[in-house]
Structure 1
Amino acid sequence: MSTNRLKAPVTSIDEQALVLLCQQLIQTPSYTGQEKGVASLLKDTMLGLGFDRVWIDAVGNVIGEIKGALPGPRILFDGHIDTVEVSDEDKWSVAPFAGELRDGHLYGRGATDMKCAIGAMVQGLAPLIAAKNTLAGSIFISGTVCEETFEGIALGKVIEAVQPDCVVIGEASGLSLKRGQRGRAEIAVTTLGKAAHSSNPAVGKNAVYMMMQLIEKIRNLPVSHDSFLGDGILELTDIISTPYPGASVVPHRCRITFDRRTLVGEAEDTVLAPIRQAIAELTAGDPSFAAEAEIVSASQECYTGAVLSGSRFFPAWVLEETHPLVDGSLAALRQTGLDPALTKYSFCTNGSTSAGVHHIPTIGFGPGREDGAHVVDENIEVEQLIGAAIGYQAIAAKFLLK
C-alpha cells in the first residue's frame, strides 16, 4: 500500500499532527490500570480539535463525540488505551517509550497495540467537524481501559452511555477488514485430594496424580470447529499444586487453567460440559476422585478507583459478509484507493462485548500487523497509520455524510 495513491473523501489528513499525536501517546506509559495520562491527553486533544463534547467516565474511559446537524445513526470507533508491560527492556534496540521514528516506522510500546489506531481515529475523523451541517448522526471515539486483562468489560460502559448503532474496532488488521473473531474463556479445573506426609503417601490422595489422569482425558476431547473462525482451541496454560512448595507433603489440591478459544454459539455451560463429563467418568470409576471446573471470575481496579469485575468469558462473533456495515465499509475503503481483504481476527478484542454480548454490528479495521503486538521493538509503519486515518474517515463519511 502506498499513501501516494490514497485520498480522503472529505478533506485531507494532517499527517504531521497525526504522527505527533501518536508519538505523544507512546511517550505516555499506560499499563493496565494506569491509563490516566493517556486519557487526559486524548481528552485535551479532542477538545482542542473541536469535538462537541469529550468526557472521562467513572472507570476511566475517554469518549469524544462529533455531533451532526441532522438526525442519523451513531457510529462508535473504539480502541483500548492500556498496554502490556515492558519486562524485557534490555532486549529493545530503542527506548520503549521514546516514540522514535526510524526508516518510516514509529517505535514504542503500544505502537501497534493500539495507540496509533486511536491517534488515527482522532486525527482521521476530526476533519468531519467542518462538515457537521451535512452530517446525519454522531461519531463517537472511545479510548477504553483495561482491555489487556478484561476484553470488552470497559467498552460495555461506553455502549451503555452512547448507545451506538454500529462499532468499528481499531485493533491491528493490516488495513484489512475484519468481520469476526473467536472468543475466549478462561477455565479453571481443580482436583481435590487428601494431604499426607510424603513418607507415607498411601494415607493421602495426591491431587497432582489425579490431575494427570484428568488432563489426559481432556486432551483427548474432540475440538469444535467453524469453517470461518477455525478450531475451538483448548490449551493448558498453567498448573500449581497446594501446598507450594510442598516440603514433604502430598499435595491435597491441584489447579490448572485452560485458555479456550470459543466459537459462535458456544456459551459458558457448553464449553464446561465436556470437561465436567470427563470428571464424571473418572468419578464413576473411582468414587474418591473429586474435581470441579468453572469459568474464572476476576476483578480489575481502574485508575479512577472503580472496579471492573465479571466472568472471564468473552464471546465469539461473526458479521455476515453481506451485512450493510461490511459491504458499505468495503466500498468506502476501496474508494480511497485501499484494497482491504475481508477476513477475521485471530485474537480476542473488545468486539466480544459490542458484537458478542450486545449484538451490535461490529467490524475491525486498524493499522499494523496482528503479530506485531506485545513484541520487542514494537513498531508500526507510518504508511499504515496514514492509511488507517483515511480509512476511518471514509467509513464514517459513507454512513453519515449526506
Structure 2
Amino acid sequence: MLKQERKDEVIDLCRELIQNKSYSGEEGNVAQVLKTYMDKAGFDDIQTDKYGNVIGHIKGKAKGPKILFDGHMDTVPVEDAGKWQYPPFAAEIHDNRIYGRGASDMKGAVAAMVAAAKFFTKDMDRNFAGDIYFAGVVHEECFEGVAAREVSKIVHPDYVVIGESSNLNLKIGQRGRAEIVLESFGKSCHSANPEKGINAVYKIDRAIEALRQIKPLHHDVLGDGILELTDIKSAPYPGASVVPDYCRATYDRRLLTGETKESVLEPLKRELAKIMHEDKEAKYKISYAVGEEKCYTDNSIRGERFFPGWLYKKEDDFVKNIVAELNTAGFSPEITQYNFCTNGSHYAGEAGIKTIGMGPSKENIAHTVNEYIEIEQLVKVVGCYTAIMKALLK
C-alpha cells in the first residue's frame, strides 16, 4: 500500500501531464515535466534523443539486466471540446476519477512508471542488480514502434514493460498491423467518350473483389490476420467530366506472429498478377504506406507502416517470475493479449526483446470523449511496477 504522500505525488504528476496538451509532434511540454520530475527524483542521467524521446536512467549497486519502462507522451486530438463533460485539459477529479485527454492513454501509466522507479530506488537504497530506464516516447499514435527504435539503440534493454492500459492485467502479446496501399493506373479522357480511356476505378473494383476472397490467416491465440478496406479515392478529384486515370485504396492488415513484409504482400501480388494477365488494360501497384511527421525537436520521423505482432508464453520463465512477484504483492492479473498495436511491435516484434504490457485503466477508454483514469487503478499500478522491478532485478 502506498502512503498517502506518495499517492498524492502520483496523482499530482498525472494531472500535470494531462494539463500539458501533447498531440503527436507537440510533446515538448510533457517532456519537460518528466525531465524536471526525474531530475528531482535523483535519476542518474536524463537525455533527449533526436526525435524528442526522453530517457531517464537509474543505476543499481550491482550489475544486472536493463529494464525499460515505455510510455508514450503523445495523445490523439480532442475533436470537439464542447462534447466533454469536463474540460479535456483541466485534469479535474470527479468521483475518484481524473478526467482529461491522455488520462487513460497513457499519462496515468507514464506518471506511475517514473514514480514507481523513484520509490523503488529509494526503498531499496539502490540495492538491486541492474538498471532501470524510463522512456517517454513520441509519435506512438502515428506509428507504433518507429520512435521506439531510437530508444532501443540507446538503452539496449533486456526487458521492456509497455504501459498501455490493461486494467492491471498482464499482456504478453498483440497482433501487429500494416497499412497497405493498392494503386490502380488507367487512362484519362472526357467522360462523354469513356471508350477512349481506361477507368482506374473500374479496374480497382475488380482487384478489391479479388482480394476480398483471400482467406485470412489464423492464430489460435491472436485470432485472424484480417485485411480490411478503410478508404478509397480516385484522381482527378472531383472528376468533372473526366474519366479517372488513378485510384488508390488503403487497407488495414492485422499481423500475426512470424509474418514478414514479403509474406504479407505475396498472396495479394499473386491475385493482382492474375487479373493483369487476363486484362491487359489493368495495371496495379501494391505497397506499404509510408508516414512522415515533424517532431517537436524540428527533426522529421519517417517510417513504413508495418508493425509486427508478437507473443510470449505463460510458461516463459520471465513471465512466471513476474506473475509470482505480482501475486506476492497481492495482485492477481489475468494473462492476456492486447487488442491493439503498441510500441511492443518494435521491442518484441522487431528486436526480439522480452516484453510485457501492464497499465492502469480499461483498454476501451482510450481515444474517447470524457476519457478518464480511476485513481484506484493509478495508485495500484505503482505497486504492480514495483513488483515487476523486484522480479527482474534480483
1:51 alignment partner AA? F
Structure 1 match to 2:181: 188
Distance 1:46 1:331 in 2: 29
The CA deviation at 1:133 is 3.8
Contact 1:13-1:124 at 8 Å conserved across structures = no
- Which of residues 107, 110, 123 in structure 1 aligns to 2:102? 110
**RMSD (Å), alpha carbons:** 1.2
1:59 aligns with 2:51: yes
Distance 1:297 1:200 in 2: 36
Structure 2 match to 1:256: 249
Distance 2:175 2:140 in 1: 16
1:19 aligns with 2:19: no
Structure 1 match to 2:127: 134
Structure 2 match to 1:101: 93
Contact 1:13-1:389 at 8 Å conserved across structures = no
The CA deviation at 1:129 is 2.1
Structure 2 match to 1:214: 207
The CA deviation at 1:376 is 0.4
Structure 2 match to 1:42: 34
Give unmatched runs, 5+ long, in structure 2.
none
1:291 aligns with 2:284: yes
Structure 2 match to 1:340: 333
**Per-residue Cα deviation, 1:281-339 (whole angstroms, up to 9, x for no partner):** 11121111111100112222211012221211000001122112211111111112111
Structure 2 match to 1:75: 67
The CA deviation at 1:79 is 0.6
Distance 1:189 1:133 in 2: 54
- Ranges of 4+ aligned residues in structure 1 off by more than 4 Å: none
Structure 2 match to 1:330: 323
Moved more, 50-59 or 178-187: 50-59
Structure 2 match to 1:372: 365
**Per-residue Cα deviation, 1:161-180 (whole angstroms, up to 9, x for no partner):** 11110100000001000000
2:21 alignment partner AA? P
Moved more, 108-117 or 319-328: 319-328
Contact 2:59-2:126 at 8 Å conserved across structures = no
Contact 1:242-1:251 at 8 Å conserved across structures = yes
Structure 1 match to 2:148: 155
2:391 alignment partner AA? K
Distance 1:23 1:93 in 2: 17
Structure 1 match to 2:80: 88
2:200 alignment partner AA? A
Contact 1:50-1:129 at 8 Å conserved across structures = no
Distance 1:265 1:293 in 2: 21
2:332 alignment partner AA? D
Distance 2:4 2:322 in 1: 19
Indicate the SS of the match to 1:249: coil
Indicate the SS of the match to 1:14: helix
Distance 2:41 2:185 in 1: 59
Structure 2 match to 1:4: none
**Per-residue Cα deviation, 1:153-195 (whole angstroms, up to 9, x for no partner):** 1111111111110100000001000000001101000011110
Distance 1:46 1:344 in 2: 31
The CA deviation at 1:96 is 0.5
TM value normalised by structure 2: 0.98
Distance 2:101 2:56 in 1: 24
Give unmatched runs, 5+ long, in structure 1.
1-6
Structure 2 match to 1:204: 197
Indicate the SS of the match to 1:254: strand
